[in-house]
Amino acid sequence: MGLERLSETYAIIALAAIVAVVYAVYQCFFSPLARIPGPFIAKISPIYHAYIAKRGHIHRDLSNLHRKHGKVVRIAPNVLFWKAESYSVLQGTRPFDLAGQRNEKIHAEQRKLVARAYSMDSITYLEPQVNSVLVLLVNRLREIRVQPIDLGYWIQLFAFDVIGAISFSKPFGYVESGDDAGIFLRLRKALRSMGWVKHAPTFHRIHQRLMPYIGNWLASNDRNSYFFELASREIQARTNRDGDFKDIASQLFSVQKTKPEFNDTNIAFMMTSNVFAGSDTTSTSLRAIFYLLLKHPEKYDRLMNELESKRQTGELSNPVTFKEAEACTYLQAVIYEAMRLYPATGDLLDRDVPEGGMTIDGHYVPGGVVVGTSSWVIHRVQEIWGPDAEEFRPERWLEKENEGTMKRFFFAFGGGSRTCIGRHISWLEISKLVPTLLICFDMRLADDVELKEEHGALLFLEGLKVHMTPKDV
């Protein structure tokens, strides 16, 4: 009896091994994607993508994979169009979610409702909100006596407060108090968790089903619970306050008047996206800009020459206006170049290949396969950016022969119908903050600063310590 059970067990193990080998042979030699190069383990297991995402430096891993395997790399057995299943993890059960919505038709309808509030025209409307946080930031930084300052942290406080200000006319009060009340860590945990759970959607589905019994083990769920509740409370408080508000909430409430189906819950979901998608992305970009500038004194000096000569001719106010900043050509080149080298999202933006399939770089890819690309990879392709693609050289954006090409391949905000809806807002913040801080402070990077990179669903850069000496302006 014992022997019989043993041989039965062996038979099951042998069968499982045969199935695994057949599956691996199929994936490596007979699948329609068999000829696409990539790590062996990625060809046979979807775990590979989730694994490299969990390690925290997927942005660099993807670039290395392309360097090793070429333009098209296979990073899962079944890895433009519809957003892939990984976005369901983002969306959860949320009915209004631009970033997470996979259905193109629903996405287009929802995006149409809110597009105006985020358009270029709305930027001037929101500028006074950014000004108030910026002036407060400069004053707070002037008061700090202990050097070097963790400028990265202050930038993050600024980016959060701006989101509160432009969304609900109420900064969160972080710059004022110099403290984030634990919210950054909570958000970081959520983004860290989302970074890998996105690539394990089956695991996510099972977890969500079991949640009533096992509780919530995934910080990624905070996006649609804790942060949604935070946004809902702010929206509620905002409707209870009187005043002529110049913010996104007021624009969305005016949409609601003609489209009542766009209810308060949907507005709160949109505001959750502002907090979730708009604060850390902007602060990471700002950290990269200051880090690269201060690391390259000749670029810093060139930018200071531009700003100072504009100051002397009265073309630069304090705080700098968006219009003035746009007219600073070297400043704009610096922003593009830093965001090229450190785009805030470095994982693949996954899309399902539509029915009928498509050909990518000579490889036929059948419908249903997930394809994606990463800004970290595109931004380092030498055929586009030249042999010095890894170098910080803002001048490349000013060279006549590159005009057009470079902006076309600038992928920090994604592209197509899913391009970042908040890109004008973050450009407004960045364009104003960088020159304003530079005209108000002399800056020097603290000794031995190297930014620490961690990629969850977004990139984080830690350790921007700077000596800041206030100037008389």
Residue 44 tokens read as: 């046979």
- The smaller minimum CB distance to ligand HEM, of residues 99 and 194, is found at 99
Provide, rounded to whole angstroms, the least separation between the CB of residue 249 and ligand HEM: 12
Contact 249, 393 (CB under 8 A): no
| Contact between 201 and ligand HEM per CB under 6 A | no
Give the chain's radius of gyration (CA, Å). Answer: 24
Q: How far is the CB of 71 from ligand HEM (least distance, A)?
A: 20
* Closest distance of CB 274 from ligand HEM, Å: 4
Minimum distance, C-beta of residue 231 to ligand HEM, in the bound complex (Å): 12
Q: With left for phi above 0 and alpha for psi between -120 and 50, is residue 410 left, alpha or beta?
A: beta
Are 424 and 118 in contact by the 8 Å Cβ rule? The answer is yes
Q: Are 407 and 384 in contact (CB under 8 A)?
A: no
Q: Is 28 marked as a binding-site residue?
A: no
Residue 421 touching ligand HEM (CB under 6 A):
yes
Binding region for ligand HEM (CB under 6 A) out of 8-16, 187-195, 280-288, 317-325: 280-288
Q: Is 183 exposed, middle or buried (0-12, 13-18, 19+ CB in 10 A)?
A: middle
Q: How far is the CB of 429 from ligand HEM (least distance, A)?
A: 7
Scanning 18-26, 55-63, 236-244, 414-422 for contacts with ligand HEM by CB under 6 A, the matching segment is: 414-422
Q: Is 349 in the site for ligand HEM (CB under 6 A)?
A: yes
Q: Across 145-272, where does the E strand assignment appear? A: 149-150
- Report, in Å, the least distance between residue 418 CB and ligand HEM: 4
Q: Cα separation of 195 and 452, whole Å?
A: 17
Q: Which is nearer to ligand HEM, 27 or 129 (CB)?
A: 129
Q: In which element (H, E) is residue 392 found? A: none
Interaction between residue 414 and ligand HEM (CB under 6 A) = yes
CA 251 to chain centre: 24
Would you count residue 170 as binding ligand HEM (CB under 6 A)?
no
According to the binding rule CB under 6 A, does residue 27 interact with ligand HEM?
no
- Residue 377 zone, left/alpha/beta (φ > 0; ψ -120 to 50; rest): alpha
Tokens of 25: 């042979």
The least distance separating ligand HEM from the CB of residue 287, rounded to whole angstroms, comes to 11
Compute the least distance from the CB of residue 167 to ligand HEM, in Å.
Answer: 7
Residue of the chain from 46, 278, 372, 456 that contacts ligand HEM (CB under 6 A): 278
Q: How far apart are CA 111 and CA 75, in angstroms?
A: 31
- Comparison of 44 and 412: residue with beta carbon closer to ligand HEM: 412
Which has the closest alpha carbon to 189: 276, 251, 113, 81? 276
Residues within window 180-199 making contact with ligand HEM, judged by CB under 6 A:
none
The Cα 210–Cα 342 span in angstroms is: 38
Site map (CB under 6 A) of ligand HEM, residues 37-76, x = contact? ----------------------------------------
Residue type, position 52, single letter: I
* Binding characters for ligand HEM, 92-131, by CB under 6 A (x = yes): ------xx-----------x--------------------
Q: Assess 246 for contact with ligand HEM (CB under 6 A).
A: no
Closer residue to ligand HEM in complex, CB, 173/414: 414
- The answer to whether residues 345 and 458 touch, using CB atoms and an 8 Å cutoff, is yes
Number of residues in contact with ligand HEM under rule CB under 6 A: 22
Candidates 53-61, 123-131, 228-236, 278-286; binding stretch for ligand HEM (CB under 6 A): 278-286
Spatial distance between the Cα atoms of 80 and 351, rounded to a whole number of angstroms = 6
Residues 6+ apart with CB under 8 A from 59: 343, 346, 347, 374, 376, 453, 455, 459
Assess 224 for contact with ligand HEM (CB under 6 A): no
Indicate which single residue of 27, 274, 431, 436 sits in contact with ligand HEM (rule: CB under 6 A). Answer: 274
Q: How far is the CB of 211 from ligand HEM (least distance, A)?
A: 25
- The stretch among 141-149, 169-177, 344-352, 447-455 that binds ligand HEM (CB under 6 A) is 344-352
Q: Which residues pair with 399 in a beta bridge?
A: none
Torsion angle, alpha carbons of 287, 291, 293, 296, to 10: -170
Cβ neighbours of 396 (radius 10 Å): 19
Nearest residue to ligand HEM, by Cβ distance, number only: 422
Q: What is the largest CA-CA distance in the chain?
A: 97
Q: From the list 425, 439, 440, 464, which residue makes contact with ligand HEM (rule: CB under 6 A)?
A: 425
* Interface with ligand HEM (CB under 6 A), residue from 193, 282, 374, 431: 282
Residue 440: half-sphere exposure toward Cβ, Cα within 13 Å? 20
Burial environment of residue 438 by CB neighbours within 10 A (0 to 12, 13 to 18, 19 or more): buried
- How far apart, in whole angstroms, are the C-alpha atoms of residue 288 and residue 290? 6
Among 65, 175, 307, 412, binds ligand HEM (CB under 6 A): 412
By CB under 6 A, is residue 86 in contact with ligand HEM?
no
> Which residues contact ligand HEM by CB under 6 A?
98-99, 111, 273-274, 277-278, 281-282, 285, 344-345, 349, 412-414, 418, 420-422, 425-426
Binding site for heme: what residues are annotated? Answer: 420
